[in-house]
Amino acid sequence: MRELTTCRSCNRFVAPDFSYCPYCGTGRVRSYEFRRLLDTPFDRMEQNVQEYSLLRLERIERQLDLLDGDLQHMMQDLLERNSL
């Protein structure tokens, strides 16, 4: 896919090798700077999502442990009741 950047003045898509916006003539930010500007918050967001997923997994694991304990308790209960 060809990389595209947008003009910071008119927000139109501009090829990354243009130094000036062909639509309004505004000097553009260089594409790698633009990408870094975009990538930084996205990286942070992705990291947050990963951390959040890990937290969720840990919470689910704890809940499963609790559920497992409950199930064993119930099974034991049933077995005891059946053996009476």
- Residues of the shown chain interacting with Zn ion in the complex, contacts defined by CB under 5 A: 7, 9-10, 21, 23-24, 26
* 28 contacts 5 by C-beta, under 8 angstroms: yes
Q: How far is the CB of 1 from Zn ion (least distance, A)?
A: 22
Using the minimum distance from each CB to Zn ion, give the nearer residue, 22 or 69: 22
Residue type, position 23, single letter: Y
- The residue (of 13 and 42) whose beta carbon lies closer to Zn ion is 13
17: helix, strand or coil: coil
3-class state of residue 53 by DSSP: helix
Give me the least distance between CB of 54 and Zn ion, in Å please: 42
